[in-house]
Chains A and B, each alone.
Chain A
Amino acid sequence: MRTNLKFRRVAAIGAGLTEFRRRTLETPQELAWEASRKALDEAGLELRDIDCVVIGSAPDAFDGVHMKGEYLSHGSGGIRKPTSRVYVGGATGVMTAISGWYHVASGLCKNVLAVAEEKMSPGRPHPQAVFRYIWDPITEKPLNPNLIWIFAMEMHRYMYVNKVSKEEIALVSVKNKRNAINNPYAQLGGQITVDDVLKSEVLVWPVQLLDVSPVSDGAAAMVFVEGDIARRYTDTPVWIEGVGWTLDNTSWPDRELAYPRYLENAARMAYTMAGIERPQKEIDVIEPYDPFDYKELHHIEGLLLAKRGEAPLLLKEGFFDVDGDIPSSPSGGLLGVGNPIAAAGLMKVISIYWQLKGTAGKMQVKRPVHTGLAQAWGDLMQASTVIIMRN
């Protein structure tokens, strides 16, 4: 990667979200349409102003549609336009925004609509069943795995190596569900206690029901435009200043799981591009990916915002609360808002965008914010995507 990058500046000028809910009556195309329409409205653009569409969606198996990018091109306004779909498992949501960035930064497109959608609830007998097919078909799937195993294995390793307790991890769930009370799109906001988490149903020890984000349907969309024309549409554009993504190898049983080295790689790529040298001092608000509560801590460490094993201590001190030094998941994250995979990732980018624009309403963090970061994670403990924005 070159350091003297000369790409066109790219601004985000609009965003839209559907409510995240389980078993929505709407089809995936209708969900995508709702989010896209809202994003265009916020940007003050019409579909005819959009010259490229980027779609993000995670496993096709959830919606039960093969070539889902093609299918979603309808609700996403992608007809008779360059429309393509990017895909890095759970990390897809942020990748969709990154892709929107490079569509514009390359000079190939001027105005881009980035849409992410996921409908997890149609799968039978349970959306869980779909995850059986994410494993290696020859060496892993014959053991009849479920998705939570993978998280549980990583979580337990993280707890073992860093001597972190379940109580410390549960604080993430408590914080994020509390933050989600202020989010009108959230599925599972609420006041819960560490005790509630520890008493909830044990799924795969050490993972319990309240450690996990729910099954959700939803969509998210953003509009990215060329920097030169952004001020035509808004006085408060939010600039994309750094992007990074990395995939680790497929052989997850063959590597240390306590630390996400791939995320560190992706973060360093984004920091270099954004000129950030001391992330803990220079970043004001973050949305790390939190499908499970320990993941937020794991990711904060991978993002170099805390030393290895120290994220739980900072969390306990209130460092990551909405009124803390670096508010983390002010939206409520996946634990509070819901987890329609790709849409949840883009929701995190949108949350930062609204924070930097100052339009996050009741979610707005107390301190003034200028630099924000969103991150997503996916595949077999493998993929990470990072985006940094400034106002």
Chain B
Amino acid sequence: MVGVDIVGVGWFGFSPNVHDHSFREMMFEAATRAFQDAGAMNPREQVDAFISCQEDFWEGISISDEFAPDPIGGSMRPTMTVAGDGIEGLAHGVMLIKTGIADVVVVESHAKPSDILTFNKIVELAMDPIYLRGRKVVNYHFIAALDAVKYMRRTGISREDLASVVIKNKGNGLKTSRAPFSSRLSKEDVMSQEVIVYPFTDVDIARPVDAGIVVILASDSFSRKFNDTPIAIKGIGYATDSSNFELAALGEANYMRVASSIAYDMANIESPLKVSGIFVDDRYSYKELEHLEALGINEVAEKLKEGYFHQGSYLPVNPFGGHLAKGYPLEAAGLSLVLDAVEYLREGAESAIVGSWRGIPTFTGGTVVLSR
């Protein structure tokens, strides 16, 4: 069966407010960089299909896919939108290549949360209109907190453990140019922060960020034409657990369990412990640990205490900082992690796993297994 490789990546932004570029101009800048990365590929001739990942209410435009084609080279070409996280778009791209209908697919996603004046209200709009929105949840972090408390109670993970995730990720972010929220913190700094919604303080919560990301996929028979070090997508999966937290399994990240089992089957890997790095959604500090568990890593708390996940140790987790350091670019969040993983592999690592989540209030996530 046809294999699929990543042959180019490009990004623009990763700033809390990209005030001088419209989202379309950000898309163009990111796409230009990605095509350059893929051996100066010409999108008007060498790309078979384009996929953009976005949601109307994040854009503030109804039917926002109207704006998808032009800035990525996709006008008058097969261009479509996957209304979901970039990983879902990546999966659709993989499918298009495996059918043979396309050899090269561009996957794009972008976020401009700085354009949204009522961010909390937009998140509320994603909740069930009949029996959840009416509850007047004061703060949407409350839903994550319920999940966190249940997870912590089940696993015995403490707030101190969460603090060490925060310190690790914000510190790791200092190594990249994409991490506006990275910093060097001490345990006292974190523990002395005021609690916003228990168990979260301000530094436990990642913030939205403006960014545009483009990833270029090619079938493995063509990929070396564009790039000397193509990164293979060995396995990919995504899943939805529920759209409603009253019906979802709280404290378990079930979506990641389903998604990773699909991706592992496809990639034929037995244990996630054998990869060289894991890039996992850490929109909240506990989520990193919950997601690791759902990816099949046992005794996460012990491993964290032993320094297992730190840079240079057995299994680095978010060695470039994750969302806590970079911010999360809404639907591009999954691609942000893929971007980290691709850079990590290009630096010499053998294999990596990416685990993404769509954020509150969803229970949807995706997993990608990458190797060099």
Contact = CB atoms under 8 A, between A and B. Distances in A.
B248 to A, nearest CB: 9
Contacts of A5: 99-101
Contacts of A134: 61-63, 66
B358 interface: yes
Given A67-B126, A106-B96, A249 B60 contact: no
Nearest to A378: B63
A70 B364 contact: yes
Contacts of A6: 100
B83 interface: yes
Interface residues on A, range: 35 or more
Given A87-B82, A95-B80, A66 B55 contact: yes
B78 A246 contact: yes
A87 B83 contact: yes
Chain A CB within 10 Å — which of B68, B242, B243 has the most? B243
Given A89-B65, A131-B62, A83 B130 contact: no
A102 B55 CA distance: 22
B75 A248 contact: yes
Contact of B56 (A60, A81, A380): A60
A247 B247 CA distance: 38
B56 A273 contact: no
Interface in A94-121: 95, 99, 102-103, 105-108
B362 interface: yes
Interface string B124-148: 0110111000000000000000000
Interface string A108-140: 100000000000000000000011011001000
Chain A CB within 10 Å — which of B48, B67, B247 has the most? B67
Interface in B69-100: 69-70, 74-84, 88, 91-92, 94-100
B27 to A, nearest CB: 12
Contacts of B358: 67, 70
A146 interface: no
Chain B CB within 10 Å — which of A6, A88, A378 has the most? A88
Nearest to A379: B66
Given A85-B84, A89-B66, A71 B128 contact: yes
B98 A380 contact: no
Summarize A's interface: helix, strand, loop or mixed: mixed
A107 B1 contact: yes
Given A5-B101, A65-B129, A88 B70 contact: no
A366 B93 CA distance: 41
Contacts of A63: 129
Contacts of A58: 63
Contacts of A251: 70
Contacts of B102: 1
Interface residues on B, range: 35 or more
A137 B22 CA distance: 12
B14 to A, nearest CB: 23
A69 B258 CA distance: 18
A246 B79 contact: yes
A256 to B, nearest CB: 13
Chain B CB within 10 Å — which of A64, A79, A265 has the most? A79
Contact of B258 (A65, A81, A246): A81
Nearest to B74: A247
B362 A86 contact: no
A95 B51 CA distance: 13
A74 B244 contact: yes
Given A68-B83, A88-B81, A249 B239 contact: no
Contact of B101 (A70, A71, A102, A246): A102
Chain A CB within 10 Å — which of B84, B239, B240, B247 has the most? B240
A59 B69 contact: no
Contacts of B77: 246-247, 265
A131 B56 CA distance: 12
Interface string A269-300: 10001000000000000000000000000000
Contact of B65 (A27, A88, A106): A88
9 contacts: A57-B83, A66-B57, A79-B240, A80-B258, A84-B88, A85-B84, A244-B78, A247-B76, A249-B76
Interface of A: 1-2, 4-7, 27, 57-61, 63-74, 78-90, 95, 99, 102-103, 105-108, 130-131, 133-134, 137, 243-251, 261-262, 265-266, 269, 273, 378-380, 382-383
* A-B complex: 10 closest residue pairs judged by Cβ atoms: A106-B98, A106-B95, A66-B125, A247-B79, A249-B75, A133-B62, A66-B126, A70-B243, A66-B57, A7-B99
Given A6-B100, A70-B358, A250-B75, 10 more contacts: A7-B101, A83-B364, A86-B81, A86-B82, A87-B81, A87-B82, A89-B63, A107-B98, A246-B77, A273-B101
